[in-house]
Chains A and B, each alone.
Chain A
Amino acid sequence: MTIQFNEETFRDDYTFKNSDWAIKRFPFPFHEDSYMYAVNMEQHRGGPDGSVYEKRFDVDEHYVAEMKDRAMVLNDDPLRCQSLPHMTLAGWDLLELIMVSKSEDYPDLFELHRDGDQWHWINKPLGIDDKFTFMDETTLPYGPMEYITRQTQGDFCVLDQRDDNLWMDAGIVTTQADWSLDFDIGMNFFEWHAPVPLAHEKGIFVRALKFLLNIQQGSPARRLNWTMTVNPLLDTSPENYHKWGVQKTTLTPENIGEKQHLRVELQTFFRLPRSNALVFPIRCYLCSFQDLMTVPKWGRRLHRVIRDLPVELATYKGFIDNRPMMLDYLSKFDDGKPTSDGIWPDLETEPALEK
């Protein structure tokens, strides 16, 4: 498959758009008509052809534009990428994992040639052709984690595992749902999750940590998470809240379909073999309400989920003020018909909207 990469922006004039292909493969995060936290983990071993689950690191039409946006964020704020000194080996692990995965999964886009520790990496979409010595930082323009994640969509947290806990000791975070690597660096699993409402009381984090500590080499896992973003903005960081927070007030009944985006994170978890660290890629997918409404099942379901979501969650996810306007819009796409189980669009089997 050859991917046509979009020329688009995630800031200022916001020319980002999803093709029909991208809409149909959007990772809609609700498998039923309601939502509550759960330890919703599953094995990350492929998925339906063309879905975002199929490859270990999904590459889509937004790849080149997202990498340009990342470079701009890093240029403005170098602290978005940090690696504590003991995490360099994990950085090499991550570089190896991504280069091997991408060259095997997308041989027309990426090539990796290895002769002992002499490596040759070709990234065709970004026009990169580099030769370097594996495990020798001086042969790369950046540290190994930064080098490869400047070429890979999604944020990356590289977690050290020790004392029966996970520690946020390295990462690159430029497309985040309002959290800060610079604030969380060095924290453990419970510390960086402290702001999340309701889930602690449900024992979610104790169980999730137990699951994550036991993720084994060769057995990666995944889950979806979601929030809401006004305008197709990748960098919704606390550092830049003064720039994007105010945009939430620009929503009107006329522009909501175009401006309001469902933001979905495909979170995956891989054990890194040489360091025994865990890498946690957080890949962000954006889809406007009006594009989502082209799938009748998703229209019905999104209305019901947003309507019934507990106030604490709507507040934490930052859209409590806009919820009434969202519901006015979404209710037009809910005719009360039942929906099929699971996240897939089911375009052939689900009835068209009757309203």
Chain B
Amino acid sequence: MSAGTDKIAVTISNIVKLNDLVTRFEFKRTDGELFPTFSGGAHTVIEMKDGDITRLNPYSLMSDPRDQSTYMISVRRDDEGRGGSLFMHNNVSVGDEMVLSYPVNLFSLDLRAKKHLMIAGGIGITPFMAQIKQLDHAHGNWELHYACRSEALGSYVDELTSTHPNDVNIYYDDQKQFIDLENLLDGQPLGTHIYVCGPKGMIDWVRGKAAELGWPREAVHYEEFLAPQPGKPFEVKLAVSNKVIQVGEQESLLEAMEREGVDAPYLCRGGACGQCETNVIGYDGKFIHRDHWLEEDEHASGKKIMPCVSRFEGKTLVLDR
């Protein structure tokens, strides 16, 4: 059984180009019914039929969690990636039918918090768009610090600053504006929770600084989905299903297993949730671990791999699948 694989058939109802890099896609249910509600921070996994390849990419839901008529995501074009975001930007039109998973939340608000301090970098703004709407309905106490490359690439900056002028702080890299993190964290009331979503460097910076200042680990929340990276093709023996499969240059190990009809569990497809953790039975070669689920010693042990983002180079790899 693959968790999180319940599906909803949708039709693209609107496409809005926000700037050079980011485009918003809006969905209605194809059957005309209402979407399930969700919690701010949830993502959905989109199925893209790209020729012979089925791509499954996670994107944060950024619409109002209470709005059951429309789901929205925003996709940043990644010209270097394997093509999921390019497919969305280049091949998808209004009226197209696609398939979404039910919402899954791995970046939930801690509703005990007296205050929610949100720190976003670039496209990392998307989960906060939904969380802010959720908190506004509940009269929650929040504050956003949002770093963008430039005014031209500041997705949703105008919307956020016009509706919440006192709670939203914008920083433009090209104007040398930077979050004064130490002072920001120092001035927070007791019971504040920190949420950070953005590039890995930003997440590490915020987590590191918070730890240094003595913040409890439980009060610091982050979400970083990795996109699987291309790599050299390799061969894998799947012991349980008794198959030998080839993982192509442009696909992940998880995608190759799915292509061969091997049922492999997943939720985030980005190295974060742990759902696809797979035992290694034997190997001769080296792992390219890219997840942030397994601990360092587990990476070194050669006993586990996260097939959503990690790869292998060498002679043989045998997995317990």
- B36 and A217 form a contact (CB under 8 A): yes
Q: Mark B138-149, 1 if CB is under 8 A from A, else 0.
A: 100000000000
Report the 7 A-B pairs with minimum CB-CB distance, sorted nearest first: A86-B111, A276-B39, A276-B108, A86-B112, A273-B37, A276-B105, A218-B102
Judge if A349 is at the interface, Cβ distance under 8 Å: no
Identify the stretch in A28-36, A157-165, A172-180 within 8 Å (CB) of chain B at 4 or more residues. Answer: A157-165
Contacts of A273 in B (CB 8 A): 36-39, 103
Q: Mark B95-114, 1 if CB is under 8 A from A, else 0.
A: 00000001111001011100
Interface members, chain A 45-73 (any B CB < 8 Å): none
A325→B37 CA distance, assembly (Å): 53
Contacts of B104 in A (CB 8 A): 216-217
A217 with B275: in contact, given A274-B37, A276-B39, A276-B42 (CB under 8 Å)? no
- B110 and A274 form a contact (CB under 8 A): no
Q: Name B residues whose Cβ lies closer than 8 Å to a Cβ of A.
A: 1, 3-4, 6, 36-39, 41-42, 65-66, 102-105, 108, 110-112, 134, 137-138, 218, 267, 275
Contacts of A89 in B (CB 8 A): 111, 138
A43→B5 CA distance, assembly (Å): 13
A298→B37 CA distance, assembly (Å): 43
A275→B139 CA distance, assembly (Å): 15
From B4, which residue of chain A is reached at the shortest CB distance? A216
A135→B111 CA distance, assembly (Å): 16
Contacts of B102 in A (CB 8 A): 216-219
Contacts of A4 in B (CB 8 A): none
Judge if A255 is at the interface, Cβ distance under 8 Å: no
From A42, which residue of chain B is reached at the shortest CB distance? B1
- A214 and B38 form a contact (CB under 8 A): no
A135→B103 CA distance, assembly (Å): 21
A161 with B108: in contact, given A218-B102, A273-B39, A274-B39 (CB under 8 Å)? yes
* Contacts A/B (CB < 8 Å), 23 sampled: A86-B110, A86-B111, A160-B111, A160-B112, A161-B108, A162-B108, A162-B218, A163-B218, A214-B3, A215-B3, A216-B3, A216-B104, A217-B36, A218-B6, A273-B36, A273-B38, A274-B38, A274-B39, A274-B65, A274-B66, A275-B39, A275-B111, A276-B108
- B6 and A162 form a contact (CB under 8 A): no
**Known A273-B39, A276-B105; further 18 A-B contacts with Cβ < 8 A:** A43-B1, A86-B112, A87-B111, A162-B110, A163-B218, A214-B4, A214-B267, A214-B275, A216-B3, A216-B267, A217-B6, A218-B36, A219-B3, A219-B6, A273-B36, A274-B38, A276-B39, A276-B41
| Chain B proximity of A90: nearest CB distance (Å) | 8
Interface members, chain A 201-247 (any B CB < 8 Å): 214-219
Query: Which of B6, B42, B112: most chain A CB closer than 10 A?
Result: B112
Interface members, chain A 136-193 (any B CB < 8 Å): 160-163
Contacts of A135 in B (CB 8 A): 137
Give the secondary structure class of A's interface: loop
- A216 and B6 form a contact (CB under 8 A): yes
A135→B138 CA distance, assembly (Å): 9
A214→B1 CA distance, assembly (Å): 12
Give the secondary structure class of B's interface: loop
A51→B111 CA distance, assembly (Å): 38
Query: Which of A87, A135, A216: most chain B CB closer than 10 A?
Result: A216
Contacts of A161 in B (CB 8 A): 108
| Chain B proximity of A353: nearest CB distance (Å) | 39
Contacts of B36 in A (CB 8 A): 217-218, 273
Contacts of B42 in A (CB 8 A): 276
From A135, which residue of chain B is reached at the shortest CB distance? B137
Contacts of A217 in B (CB 8 A): 6, 36, 38, 102-104
Interface members, chain A 279-333 (any B CB < 8 Å): none
A99→B138 CA distance, assembly (Å): 22
| Chain B proximity of A225: nearest CB distance (Å) | 21
| Chain A proximity of B45: nearest CB distance (Å) | 11
| Chain A proximity of B49: nearest CB distance (Å) | 23
| Chain A proximity of B173: nearest CB distance (Å) | 33
A38→B263 CA distance, assembly (Å): 23
A217→B267 CA distance, assembly (Å): 12
Contacts of A274 in B (CB 8 A): 37-39, 65-66, 134
Query: Which of A86, A214, A217, A218: most chain B CB closer than 10 A?
Result: A217
Contacts of A219 in B (CB 8 A): 3-4, 6, 102
A135→B66 CA distance, assembly (Å): 11
| Chain A proximity of B43: nearest CB distance (Å) | 12
| Chain A proximity of B317: nearest CB distance (Å) | 25
From B6, which residue of chain A is reached at the shortest CB distance? A218
A14→B70 CA distance, assembly (Å): 53
| Chain A proximity of B31: nearest CB distance (Å) | 14
A236→B37 CA distance, assembly (Å): 37
Contacts of B137 in A (CB 8 A): 135
Contacts of A276 in B (CB 8 A): 39, 41-42, 105, 108
Query: Which of A87, A215, A219: most chain B CB closer than 10 A?
Result: A219
A163→B216 CA distance, assembly (Å): 11
A257→B66 CA distance, assembly (Å): 53
| Chain A proximity of B80: nearest CB distance (Å) | 32
Contacts of B112 in A (CB 8 A): 85-86, 160
A159→B275 CA distance, assembly (Å): 21
Query: Which of B36, B39, B138: most chain A CB closer than 10 A?
Result: B39
Contacts of A160 in B (CB 8 A): 111-112
From A87, which residue of chain B is reached at the shortest CB distance? B111
Contacts of B38 in A (CB 8 A): 217, 273-274
A111→B251 CA distance, assembly (Å): 50
A173→B218 CA distance, assembly (Å): 29
From B42, which residue of chain A is reached at the shortest CB distance? A276
Contacts of A85 in B (CB 8 A): 112
| Chain B proximity of A74: nearest CB distance (Å) | 25
A94→B270 CA distance, assembly (Å): 31
From B108, which residue of chain A is reached at the shortest CB distance? A276
Q: Mark A247-278, 1 if CB is under 8 A from B, else 0.
A: 00000000000000000000000000111100
A217→B112 CA distance, assembly (Å): 22
| Chain B proximity of A98: nearest CB distance (Å) | 15
Contacts of B105 in A (CB 8 A): 276
